[in-house]
Protein backbone atom coordinates (compact mmCIF):
# COMPACT_ATOMS: atom_id res chain seq x y z
CA UNK A 1 0.00 0.00 0.00
CA UNK A 2 1.50 3.31 -1.08
CA UNK A 3 1.65 6.13 1.45
CA UNK A 4 -1.22 8.63 1.45
CA UNK A 5 -1.56 12.00 3.17
CA UNK A 6 -4.77 13.88 3.81
CA UNK A 7 -4.78 17.38 2.34
CA UNK A 8 -8.08 18.95 3.48
CA UNK A 9 -8.94 21.95 1.32
CA UNK A 10 -9.55 24.08 4.40
CA UNK A 11 -5.96 23.41 5.55
CA UNK A 12 -4.41 24.56 2.28
CA UNK A 13 -3.72 28.23 1.71
CA UNK A 14 -2.96 29.45 -1.81
CA UNK A 15 -3.96 33.02 -2.56
CA UNK A 16 -3.30 33.77 -6.24
CA UNK A 17 -1.82 37.26 -6.41
CA UNK A 18 -0.61 37.25 -10.03
CA UNK A 19 -1.48 35.47 -13.25
CA UNK A 20 0.15 35.92 -16.65
CA UNK A 21 -2.94 35.73 -18.86
CA UNK A 22 -0.89 35.63 -22.07
CA UNK A 23 1.05 32.58 -20.87
CA UNK A 24 -2.09 30.87 -19.57
CA UNK A 25 -3.67 31.18 -23.01
CA UNK A 26 -0.49 29.82 -24.58
CA UNK A 27 -0.62 26.79 -22.22
CA UNK A 28 -4.23 26.08 -23.14
CA UNK A 29 -3.61 26.47 -26.87
CA UNK A 30 -0.70 24.01 -26.74
CA UNK A 31 -2.22 21.51 -24.30
CA UNK A 32 -3.32 18.09 -25.52
CA UNK A 33 -4.79 17.20 -22.10
CA UNK A 34 -6.90 19.93 -20.49
CA UNK A 35 -8.76 18.21 -17.65
CA UNK A 36 -8.25 19.83 -14.22
CA UNK A 37 -9.24 18.22 -10.89
CA UNK A 38 -11.98 20.11 -9.07
CA UNK A 39 -9.76 20.41 -6.00
CA UNK A 40 -7.02 22.04 -8.08
CA UNK A 41 -9.47 24.53 -9.58
CA UNK A 42 -10.69 25.47 -6.11
CA UNK A 43 -7.34 25.67 -4.28
CA UNK A 44 -4.82 26.59 -6.99
CA UNK A 45 -6.75 27.78 -10.02
CA UNK A 46 -6.27 26.93 -13.70
CA UNK A 47 -3.44 24.51 -14.41
CA UNK A 48 -2.67 22.94 -17.78
CA UNK A 49 0.63 22.03 -19.44
CA UNK A 50 1.69 22.25 -23.09
CA UNK A 51 2.05 18.98 -24.93
CA UNK A 52 5.68 17.93 -25.38
CA UNK A 53 7.30 19.06 -28.59
CA UNK A 54 10.08 17.36 -30.48
CA UNK A 55 11.40 14.03 -29.24
CA UNK A 56 11.67 14.65 -25.50
CA UNK A 57 9.29 14.97 -22.52
CA UNK A 58 7.97 18.30 -21.28
CA UNK A 59 10.10 18.87 -18.17
CA UNK A 60 9.15 20.71 -14.97
CA UNK A 61 11.33 21.35 -11.93
CA UNK A 62 9.87 21.43 -8.43
CA UNK A 63 11.80 22.77 -5.45
CA UNK A 64 11.43 24.59 -2.13
CA UNK A 65 14.10 26.96 -0.84
CA UNK A 66 14.62 29.02 2.28
CA UNK A 67 14.13 32.77 1.93
CA UNK A 68 17.88 33.17 1.48
CA UNK A 69 17.98 30.52 -1.23
CA UNK A 70 19.20 27.49 0.73
CA UNK A 71 18.07 23.91 0.16
CA UNK A 72 17.83 23.22 3.87
CA UNK A 73 19.56 23.58 7.20
CA UNK A 74 23.14 22.47 7.74
CA UNK A 75 23.08 18.98 9.23
CA UNK A 76 19.32 18.64 8.56
CA UNK A 77 18.89 18.97 4.78
CA UNK A 78 15.35 17.60 4.41
CA UNK A 79 12.96 19.97 2.67
CA UNK A 80 10.23 18.86 5.08
CA UNK A 81 12.36 20.11 7.98
CA UNK A 82 12.79 23.42 6.17
CA UNK A 83 9.08 23.99 5.52
CA UNK A 84 7.92 22.83 8.96
CA UNK A 85 10.38 25.24 10.61
CA UNK A 86 8.31 28.20 9.37
CA UNK A 87 5.87 28.67 12.25
CA UNK A 88 4.26 31.61 10.47
CA UNK A 89 2.93 29.17 7.87
CA UNK A 90 -0.54 28.25 9.13
CA UNK A 91 -0.49 25.03 7.07
CA UNK A 92 2.83 23.95 8.68
CA UNK A 93 4.33 23.12 5.30
CA UNK A 94 1.30 21.17 4.11
CA UNK A 95 0.60 23.59 1.25
CA UNK A 96 4.12 23.25 -0.11
CA UNK A 97 3.91 19.46 0.04
CA UNK A 98 0.57 19.64 -1.76
CA UNK A 99 2.15 21.80 -4.48
CA UNK A 100 4.70 19.02 -5.03
CA UNK A 101 1.83 16.54 -5.34
CA UNK A 102 0.03 18.90 -7.67
CA UNK A 103 2.93 18.78 -10.14
CA UNK A 104 3.33 15.01 -9.69
CA UNK A 105 -0.33 14.53 -10.61
CA UNK A 106 0.44 15.40 -14.24
CA UNK A 107 3.79 13.61 -14.41
CA UNK A 108 4.58 10.32 -16.13
CA UNK A 109 7.96 10.26 -14.38
CA UNK A 110 9.64 11.88 -11.39
CA UNK A 111 13.40 12.35 -11.56
CA UNK A 112 15.59 12.10 -8.46
CA UNK A 113 19.31 12.09 -7.82
CA UNK A 114 21.09 9.84 -5.35
CA UNK A 115 21.63 12.78 -2.97
CA UNK A 116 17.89 13.38 -2.84
CA UNK A 117 17.35 9.77 -1.80
CA UNK A 118 19.94 10.13 0.96
CA UNK A 119 18.50 13.43 2.25
CA UNK A 120 14.83 12.40 1.98
CA UNK A 121 14.78 8.93 3.48
CA UNK A 122 11.02 8.46 3.80
CA UNK A 123 9.39 9.74 0.63
CA UNK A 124 8.46 7.87 -2.54
CA UNK A 125 7.69 9.22 -5.99
CA UNK A 126 3.93 8.99 -6.27
CA UNK A 127 0.87 11.15 -5.58
CA UNK A 128 0.14 11.24 -1.84
CA UNK A 129 -3.20 13.08 -2.10
CA UNK A 130 -5.98 10.44 -2.54
CA UNK A 131 -8.19 12.95 -4.37
CA UNK A 132 -5.49 13.75 -6.92
CA UNK A 133 -4.63 10.05 -7.25
CA UNK A 134 -8.30 9.39 -7.99
CA UNK A 135 -8.05 11.93 -10.81
CA UNK A 136 -5.11 10.00 -12.32
CA UNK A 137 -7.00 6.74 -11.96
CA UNK A 138 -10.01 8.21 -13.76
CA UNK A 139 -7.87 9.10 -16.77
CA UNK A 140 -6.18 5.78 -17.54
CA UNK A 141 -6.03 6.73 -21.20
CA UNK A 142 -3.45 9.36 -20.21
CA UNK A 143 -1.81 8.32 -16.90
CA UNK A 144 -0.45 5.15 -15.38
CA UNK A 145 -1.45 4.95 -11.68
CA UNK A 146 2.13 5.47 -10.47
CA UNK A 147 4.74 7.58 -12.28
CA UNK A 148 8.13 6.13 -13.12
CA UNK A 149 10.68 6.94 -10.41
CA UNK A 150 13.78 7.89 -12.41
CA UNK A 151 17.07 7.83 -10.51
CA UNK A 152 20.20 9.18 -12.21
CA UNK A 153 23.44 8.28 -10.47
CA UNK A 154 27.12 7.98 -11.37
CA UNK A 155 27.61 5.57 -8.45
CA UNK A 156 24.89 2.91 -8.33
CA UNK A 157 26.96 1.00 -5.79
CA UNK A 158 26.41 3.85 -3.30
CA UNK A 159 22.61 3.97 -3.57
CA UNK A 160 20.66 3.54 -0.32
CA UNK A 161 19.12 0.21 -1.34
CA UNK A 162 16.85 0.19 1.72
CA UNK A 163 15.13 3.38 0.55
CA UNK A 164 11.34 2.96 0.08
CA UNK A 165 11.60 3.75 -3.64
CA UNK A 166 13.93 0.78 -4.06
CA UNK A 167 12.06 -1.61 -1.78
CA UNK A 168 8.44 -1.05 -2.89
CA UNK A 169 7.71 -3.63 -5.60
CA UNK A 170 4.91 -1.76 -7.37
CA UNK A 171 6.77 1.54 -7.76
CA UNK A 172 8.27 1.47 -11.28
CA UNK A 173 11.96 2.35 -11.12
CA UNK A 174 14.14 3.53 -13.98
CA UNK A 175 17.80 3.54 -12.97
CA UNK A 176 20.16 5.57 -15.18
CA UNK A 177 23.85 4.76 -14.77
CA UNK A 178 27.15 5.00 -16.67
CA UNK A 179 27.76 2.02 -18.94
CA UNK A 180 31.03 1.19 -17.14
CA UNK A 181 29.11 0.67 -13.86
CA UNK A 182 26.94 -2.25 -14.96
CA UNK A 183 29.10 -4.64 -12.97
CA UNK A 184 28.11 -2.75 -9.80
CA UNK A 185 24.49 -3.87 -10.11
CA UNK A 186 25.26 -7.05 -8.18
CA UNK A 187 24.69 -4.91 -5.09
CA UNK A 188 20.95 -4.74 -5.85
CA UNK A 189 19.09 -6.81 -3.23
CA UNK A 190 18.20 -10.03 -5.03
CA UNK A 191 18.68 -8.30 -8.35
CA UNK A 192 15.16 -6.94 -7.97
CA UNK A 193 15.72 -3.75 -9.93
CA UNK A 194 18.53 -4.88 -12.16
CA UNK A 195 16.87 -6.68 -15.01
CA UNK A 196 15.89 -5.17 -18.34
CA UNK A 197 19.08 -3.25 -19.11
CA UNK A 198 18.77 -0.87 -22.07
CA UNK A 199 21.70 0.77 -23.78
CA UNK A 200 20.75 4.36 -24.60
CA UNK A 201 21.80 3.61 -28.16
CA UNK A 202 18.63 1.53 -28.25
CA UNK A 203 18.15 -1.20 -30.89
CA UNK A 204 14.96 -1.85 -32.83
CA UNK A 205 14.00 -4.89 -30.75
CA UNK A 206 14.48 -2.95 -27.53
CA UNK A 207 12.25 -0.16 -28.82
CA UNK A 208 9.45 -2.68 -29.35
CA UNK A 209 9.88 -3.88 -25.77
CA UNK A 210 9.86 -0.31 -24.51
CA UNK A 211 6.71 0.60 -26.42
CA UNK A 212 4.94 -2.38 -24.89
CA UNK A 213 5.91 -1.23 -21.41
CA UNK A 214 4.76 2.32 -22.06
CA UNK A 215 1.15 1.12 -22.26
CA UNK A 216 1.31 -0.76 -18.99
CA UNK A 217 -1.44 0.64 -16.78
CA UNK A 218 -1.90 -1.29 -13.56
CA UNK A 219 -0.22 -3.74 -11.20
CA UNK A 220 -1.91 -5.61 -8.39
CA UNK A 221 -0.91 -5.02 -4.77
CA UNK A 222 2.07 -7.16 -3.80
CA UNK A 223 3.24 -7.71 -7.37
CA UNK A 224 6.36 -6.25 -8.90
CA UNK A 225 5.68 -3.57 -11.50
CA UNK A 226 7.36 -4.78 -14.72
CA UNK A 227 8.49 -1.22 -15.43
CA UNK A 228 11.82 -1.74 -13.67
CA UNK A 229 14.61 -0.92 -16.07
CA UNK A 230 18.23 0.14 -16.13
CA UNK A 231 19.41 2.56 -18.82
CA UNK A 232 23.12 2.82 -19.48
CA UNK A 233 24.67 5.99 -20.89
CA UNK A 234 28.22 6.67 -22.08
CA UNK A 235 30.51 7.15 -19.11
CA UNK A 236 32.03 10.30 -20.60
CA UNK A 237 29.84 13.39 -20.32
CA UNK A 238 27.38 11.61 -18.04
CA UNK A 239 24.45 12.11 -18.21
CA UNK A 240 24.03 12.61 -21.95
CA UNK A 241 20.51 14.03 -22.18
CA UNK A 242 20.62 14.01 -25.98
CA UNK A 243 20.53 10.22 -25.71
CA UNK A 244 18.42 9.87 -22.56
CA UNK A 245 15.47 12.20 -23.22
CA UNK A 246 14.36 10.67 -26.56
CA UNK A 247 14.47 7.24 -24.92
CA UNK A 248 12.25 8.50 -22.10
CA UNK A 249 9.70 9.57 -24.71
CA UNK A 250 9.81 6.07 -26.20
CA UNK A 251 8.99 4.80 -22.72
CA UNK A 252 5.75 6.78 -22.91
CA UNK A 253 6.98 9.62 -20.68
CA UNK A 254 5.30 12.75 -21.98
CA UNK A 255 5.86 14.90 -18.90
CA UNK A 256 8.54 14.59 -16.24
CA UNK A 257 8.87 16.34 -12.89
CA UNK A 258 12.42 16.87 -11.58
CA UNK A 259 12.91 17.06 -7.80
CA UNK A 260 16.69 16.88 -7.66
CA UNK A 261 18.33 20.32 -7.23
CA UNK A 262 21.47 19.20 -9.03
CA UNK A 263 19.65 17.79 -12.04
CA UNK A 264 17.32 20.81 -12.23
CA UNK A 265 20.36 23.02 -12.81
CA UNK A 266 21.97 20.52 -15.19
CA UNK A 267 18.78 20.45 -17.27
CA UNK A 268 18.81 24.25 -17.31
CA UNK A 269 22.37 24.06 -18.56
CA UNK A 270 21.17 21.75 -21.35
CA UNK A 271 18.31 24.21 -22.10
CA UNK A 272 15.61 21.56 -21.69
CA UNK A 273 13.97 22.48 -18.35
CA UNK A 274 10.66 23.98 -19.50
CA UNK A 275 9.13 25.14 -16.22
CA UNK A 276 10.12 25.67 -12.62
CA UNK A 277 7.70 25.48 -9.67
CA UNK A 278 9.86 27.28 -7.13
CA UNK A 279 8.63 27.92 -3.59
CA UNK A 280 10.30 30.19 -1.05
CA UNK A 281 9.35 29.52 2.55
CA UNK A 282 9.86 32.43 4.93
CA UNK A 283 12.62 30.88 7.02
CA UNK A 284 16.28 31.88 6.75
CA UNK A 285 18.68 28.93 6.79
CA UNK A 286 22.18 30.26 6.07
CA UNK A 287 24.98 27.82 5.39
CA UNK A 288 26.41 26.54 2.13
CA UNK A 289 23.61 24.30 0.83
CA UNK A 290 23.00 26.42 -2.25
CA UNK A 291 21.41 25.07 -5.46
CA UNK A 292 23.33 25.47 -8.69
CA UNK A 293 26.75 25.90 -7.11
CA UNK A 294 28.20 23.19 -9.36
CA UNK A 295 26.65 24.60 -12.54
CA UNK A 296 27.69 28.16 -13.29
CA UNK A 297 26.21 30.21 -16.13
CA UNK A 298 27.80 33.11 -18.00
CA UNK A 299 25.93 36.36 -18.75
CA UNK A 300 25.75 35.64 -22.49
CA UNK A 301 24.25 32.17 -22.06
CA UNK A 302 21.96 32.02 -19.04
CA UNK A 303 18.35 30.91 -18.54
CA UNK A 304 15.72 33.60 -18.21
CA UNK A 305 12.49 33.37 -16.25
CA UNK A 306 9.02 34.46 -17.39
CA UNK A 307 6.56 34.44 -14.52
CA UNK A 308 3.34 32.50 -15.11
CA UNK A 309 1.72 32.85 -11.69
CA UNK A 310 2.32 33.69 -8.05
CA UNK A 311 0.51 32.36 -4.99
CA UNK A 312 0.92 33.25 -1.32
CA UNK A 313 0.42 31.06 1.73
CA UNK A 314 -0.44 33.55 4.47
CA UNK A 315 2.20 36.27 4.13
CA UNK A 316 5.21 33.99 4.53
CA UNK A 317 5.40 31.42 1.70
CA UNK A 318 5.72 32.42 -1.96
CA UNK A 319 4.82 29.87 -4.65
CA UNK A 320 5.91 30.69 -8.20
CA UNK A 321 5.31 29.01 -11.54
CA UNK A 322 8.02 30.07 -13.96
CA UNK A 323 8.59 29.38 -17.65
CA UNK A 324 12.25 29.10 -18.65
CA UNK A 325 13.47 30.95 -21.73
CA UNK A 326 16.84 30.25 -23.33
CA UNK A 327 18.25 33.13 -25.38
CA UNK A 328 21.80 33.03 -26.68
CA UNK A 329 22.89 36.65 -26.30
CA UNK A 330 25.88 36.29 -28.62
CA UNK A 331 23.84 34.54 -31.31
CA UNK A 332 21.12 37.18 -31.12
CA UNK A 333 23.72 39.94 -31.41
CA UNK A 334 25.25 38.27 -34.48
CA UNK A 335 21.80 37.94 -36.11
CA UNK A 336 21.07 41.62 -35.47
CA UNK A 337 24.40 42.80 -36.87
CA UNK A 338 24.00 40.58 -39.96
CA UNK A 339 20.75 42.33 -40.90
Give residue-wise pLDDT tens across range 54-94. 899 999 999 999 999 999 998 887 888 899 899 999 999 99
Interatomic CA distance for residues 302 and 26, integer angstroms: 23
Q: Tell me, what's the pLDDT at 334?
A: 41
Q: Does the pLDDT of residue 328 top 80, yes or no?
A: no
Q: Does the pLDDT of residue 192 top 80, yes or no?
A: no
Interatomic CA distance for residues 87 and 277, integer angstroms: 22
The predicted model gives 203-207 an average pLDDT of: 58
Q: Does the pLDDT of residue 213 top 90, yes or no?
A: no
Residues of the chain with pLDDT > 70, as a percent, come to 86
Interatomic CA distance for residues 276 and 239, integer angstroms: 21
Instruction: Answer whether the bond into residue 52 is a cis peptide, omega within 30°.
Output: no
The 3-state secondary structure of 68-118 reads CCCCCECCECCHHHHHHCCCCCCCCCHHHHHHHHHHHHCCCEEEEEHHHHH
Strands 109-113 and 255-258: parallel
More confident residue, 334 or 45: 45
End-to-end CA distance of the chain: 62
Q: All domains of the chain, ordered by start, with CATH?
A: 9-338 (3.40.430.10)
* Inter-helix orientation angle 130-137/94-105, to 10°: 10
| Centroid of chain to Cα 116 | 12
Q: What is the pLDDT of residues 228-240, one digit of tens each?
A: 888 889 988 898 9
Q: Does the pLDDT of residue 335 top 60, yes or no?
A: no
CA angle 182, 187, 188 (to 5 degrees): 90
- Kindly give, in sequence order, each residue whose CB lies less than 8 Å from that of residue 332, ignoring residues fewer than 6 positions away: none
Closest CA to 230 of 253, 197, 206, 260: 197
Q: Tell me, what's the pLDDT at 1?
A: 75
Interatomic CA distance for residues 162 and 254, integer angstroms: 29
Q: Does the pLDDT of residue 131 top 90, yes or no?
A: yes
Interatomic CA distance for residues 273 and 262, integer angstroms: 12
pLDDT band at 158; cut points 50, 70, 90:
confident
Q: Tell me, what's the pLDDT at 336?
A: 45
Q: Tell me, what's the pLDDT at 198?
A: 75
Enter the pTM of the model.
Answer: 0.90
More confident residue, 179 or 206: 179
Amino acid sequence: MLKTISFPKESLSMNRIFENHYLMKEFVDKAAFQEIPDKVKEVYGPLVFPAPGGERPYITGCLVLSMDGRLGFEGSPSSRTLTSSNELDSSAGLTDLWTLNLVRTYADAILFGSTTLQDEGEFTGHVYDPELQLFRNSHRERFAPTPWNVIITRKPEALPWDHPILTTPHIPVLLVIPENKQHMLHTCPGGRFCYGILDARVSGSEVAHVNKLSHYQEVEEGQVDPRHLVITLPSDNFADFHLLLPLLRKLGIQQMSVESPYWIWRLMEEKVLDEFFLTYTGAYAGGESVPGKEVGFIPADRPLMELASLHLTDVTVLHSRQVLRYIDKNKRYKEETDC
